[in-house]
Amino acid sequence: MLFPRENKFRNVKILDGFWSLKFDKNDEGEKQAWCKGLKNANPVAISAPWNEQYPDFKNYMGTVWYECKTVIAKSWEKEFVWLRFCGVNWNAKVWINGKELGTHSGGFISFEYQINDLIKTGDENLIVVKVDMKLSRETLLQDGKGIGHWAKFGDKYPPSSGDYFPWGGIIRPVYVYTVPKTYIQDITLNTDISGKAGVIKYQIELNSKPLNGLVKVTVTDKAGTVVAQGSGLSGTVRVEKAEFWCAETPHLYSFEAALIVNGATADAYCLKTGIKKIEIKKDAVLINGKSVYFRGFSRHDDLAVIGAGFNRALIVRDFQLLKWIGANILRPGHYPPSEELLDLADETGIYIIDEVPANAFYSTKNPNDKPKDMVPPAFIENHKNAVKAMVTRDKNHASVIAWSIANECNSTLNECAVHLKKIYDYTKTLDGRPVVFMNCMDDDDKASGHFDIICMNMYFFLYNEGGDWDKVQKTMSDICDKMYKRFKKPMLISEFGADGIAGEHAHPAVFYTEDYQTEHVLKYLDVFEKKSYIRGTMVWAFADFLVSQHFGRAILNRKGVFNRDRNPKMIARFLKQRWEKIKK
């Protein structure tokens, strides 16, 4: 799935701005034909969830209707016109000019429709979207009612299986764009290294095969110099004396595919690509033949007022902070990030672990729940669909070094391990990069052996042992050693951390103070950094973020190294000093 990019063959119009919104508590909108236009509606900003724009509906997870009116240029009538949503949480049904386009279930990912048959070019068109956050055991983000690893402590409000706020609505940009009638539909790039040369294998898909056509490919460097050329729908081009992509030197090349029909260019599409090679050898993760030690965070899309809404300024600010503190990896948890964030990661040099929103499944507080009750067949199908959508969308980003297919599921169950292995195998048919899942079951886990890198979320001692550091460090060390001895694979500590309320201090350090958060993180790092098979650590979390109401959270999850406003806590400067030494 190619991102909408404007050039002389393609037009792009972004529909962000003020739309109209109407809440539908009684689910009467379809019967009353709201798809033909909303009456007595209110303004809503796109792209951002409804929850904080309308405080009276902050915890509302029912049906909401959106309406947008837009003129589609007369000059577009000879092209294919597409309507693309970059993220709608969670279930959507779309109409244009009163006629149904289709439905989509699944948040934080793009979907689109060709709309030529339903639009009026040179005139105003009505787009209506019915959205709800009605979660269930079948949706990938489950409803959290009696299930999920928090369930044993009581349901959260509003409920979901994720430990983040269940934001609802059109949360990412909406585009209308055109492509020619015969066009480049998809491009897949795979890069490799041969000595000092870079190798780019490409596969190009057209929507139809032209009678007299061919595809030419051109690779240029940042100065615009042509460094490689080729032709055909598939092939390999070689860049001599290539500059390779990594976090320290994020060199990007431009890969342009041009469709030539009857001697003239009919369509073209340009991708930024970084030439790199990822390998796993013994205890190491190699990028371009060099062992890498990863240091960074997991991060939620979250900010006051806009919630999980798309915000370019926030992405820029966060990447500046990542570079300031010395991080080289980011895991957008627990869902795929915006495509614009990945573009910036490619450009600035931040490794990304891309993750689907499959969180805390196969966990229940009901002892009578059977595995098939916790994870019905529809969930498994939704899981595969989410993986395919993520890989198809993000496969060409240089920054993406691994696919994460799940977070903190109950991998002590055989059924869960079998499920994860099937999703692992399916992911590998789509792309060759490492596949991981985030294990929170310590050495009781039964699934990690199927995966390329062992990823451990380590919180048990935060919630159970408190500040008995001698005991905590020994037990953590023993668990890590047991996991390595079992699987003999490199390990990442994908989550660890403690809540620190900004401005709270105590001596000696106690829970929820910045002092305790700092001590906690540094004590954990003292253990992890001594083990050669642990190839990186990711602090949970980059910044504080909103969660559903629960006694275990003081309004926010406060494990952020930065507060919700992106100002550093005490731990930030300690991490910066520590990571500067590692970089050297």
Helices 377-394 and 339-348 cross at an angle (nearest 10°) of 40
495 is catalytic: yes
Distance CA 371, CA 414 (A): 10
Query: In this structure, which amino acid lies at residue 114?
Result: Q
* 3-state DSSP percent of the chain in helix, strand and coil, to 5: 25, 35, 40
Q: Which position among 408, 415, 529, 580 bears the catalytic label?
A: 408
In 3D, which of 228, 237, 93 has the Cα closest to residue 170? 93
- Residue 335 is encoded by which pair of tokens? 């869902």
The residue whose two tokens read 């629960």 is 550
In 3D, which of 410, 434, 323, 399 has the Cα closest to residue 358? 410
Tell me, what DSSP letter sits at residue 17?
E
- Residue 31 is encoded by which pair of tokens? 């019967």
Q: Is 261 left (phi over 0), alpha (psi -120 to 50) or beta?
A: beta
Helices 469-487 and 514-528 cross at an angle (nearest 10°) of 40
- Residue 473 is encoded by which pair of tokens? 């460090």
Q: Is 28 left (phi over 0), alpha (psi -120 to 50) or beta?
A: alpha
Q: How far is CA 192 from CA 126, 251, 380, 398, in A?
A: 47, 14, 33, 12
- Let me know: does 398 contact 246? Beta carbons within 8 Å: no
- Let me know: does 247 contact 349? Beta carbons within 8 Å: yes
The residue whose two tokens read 């439905």 is 103
Q: How many CB atoms lie within 10 A of CB 247?
A: 20
- Cα torsion through 388, 386, 338, 250, rounded to 10: -40
Distance CA 154, CA 149 (A): 10
124 is catalytic: no
- Let me know: does 250 contact 347? Beta carbons within 8 Å: yes
Reported as type and span, the H/E element at residue 251 is none
- Let me know: does 131 contact 63? Beta carbons within 8 Å: yes
Tell me, what DSSP letter sits at residue 283?
T
In 3D, which of 170, 159, 129, 173 has the Cα closest to residue 30? 129
Q: Which position among 52, 67, 495, 514 bears the catalytic label?
A: 495
As a whole number of Å, the CA-based R_g of the chain is: 24
Give 441: exposed, middle or buried? Use CB within 10 Å, 0-12, 13-18, 19+: buried
Q: Which residues are catalytic?
A: 408, 495
